[in-house]
Amino acid sequence: MQANVRIATLDRRAAMATLLADRPANLFVVPGLGSCTWDAFAAGDDDRNFYLWGAMGGAAMIGLGLALAQPKLRVAVITGDGEMLMGLGSLGTVGMQKPANLAVVVFDNGHFGETGMQASHTSGAVDLCAVARGCGIERVMDVGDEAGLRELAGLLANSDRTLFARVRIAADDPPRVLPEKDGVAIKDRVRRAVAKAAGFTPA
C-alpha cells in the first residue's frame, strides 16, 4: 500500500493556474469555500466557476449533481482537505455513481487555512487517496510536483473515468482576492454558462 506522504510543497496559486491554464470550453469548476474559491478567482474570473462561500462539506456533491445532470460538461471540484473531510461520505456517493466527467481534486495542506491554520486530520491519520480508493474511485492520483499537475490538468479535460486527486500544497495563506459574493448572481451566471456550453436555452 502507498504511504500517506505528507511532504507538501506546491504553491496553491501556481497549482490552480496550471490546472486551469488550458481549460477546455466545457470544463466547469466548483471551488470549495475559502482558499480554493480565492485561488480560482485569482487564476482568472470565469463564468464557469461556481464559487462557494459556504456549504462547507458540500462541494463534491454539488459537482456530482452538475456532472450527472450535464454529461456533455466536465466538472472539476477543487477543494480543501478541511472541506473534503467535512463531507467525506460524499466520496462514497461519488464512488457509487462514478460519472466519467467528474474529478474531485483536494488541495491538501493538512490544515484549515481560512480559520487560522489549525491542523486537519490529513496531518495525522487520514489518507484521502486511500479513502477515495476505498470508496470505489478507480483513478486516484497523489500529486506532488509540476509534472503531476500537468498530467492532472490533461485528465480534467479528458479522463474516461471518475478521478480523485490529492494535490500536496504548502500550508501558506496568500493574499485573499475575493470574487462576487452574491449567491444568486453566482448561480445565475453559472447557469447561463452551463446552458451555453451544453447547448440549451435556460428556463
Q: State the residues that interact with ligand TPP by CB under 6 A.
A: 32-35, 54, 56, 80-83, 107, 109, 111-115, 120
Q: Is 188 helix (H, G, I), strand (E, B) or coil?
A: helix
Nearer to ligand TPP, 46 or 81 (CB): 81
CB 105 within 8 Å of CB 152: yes
At 99, the amino acid letter reads P
Do residues 156 and 103 lie in contact, with contact meaning Cβ atoms separated by under 8 Å?
Answer: yes
Which residue number is nearest to ligand TPP in terms of Cβ?
80
Three cell numbers written together for 153: 490538468
CA distance 175 to 108: 18
DSSP label at residue 53: S
Which SS3 state, helix, strand or coil, does residue 196 take? Answer: helix
Q: Are 120 and 84 in contact (CB under 8 A)?
A: no
The residue among 77 and 141 lying less far from ligand TPP, judged by its C-beta, is: 77
Helix (H, G, I), strand (E, B) or coil at 168: strand
Contact indicator for 80, 107 with CB cutoff of 8 Å: yes
- The minimum distance between CB 82 and ligand TPP, in angstroms, equals 3
Nearer to ligand TPP, 51 or 194 (CB): 51
- The distance of closest approach from Cβ of residue 112 to ligand TPP in the complex, given in angstroms and rounded to an integer, is 4
In the complex with ligand TPP, the residue whose CB is nearer, 106 or 197, is 106
What whole-number distance in Å separates Cα of residue 105 and Cα of residue 45?
19
The residue (of 114 and 127) whose beta carbon lies closer to ligand TPP is 114
The least CB distance from residue 3 to ligand TPP, in Å, is: 21
State the minimum distance, in angstroms, from the CB of residue 132 to ligand TPP. Answer: 16
Nearest distance from residue 43's CB to ligand TPP, in Å? 15
Our CB check for ligand TPP shows the closer of 56 and 73 to be: 56
**Shortest Å distance, C-beta 53 to ligand TPP:** 9
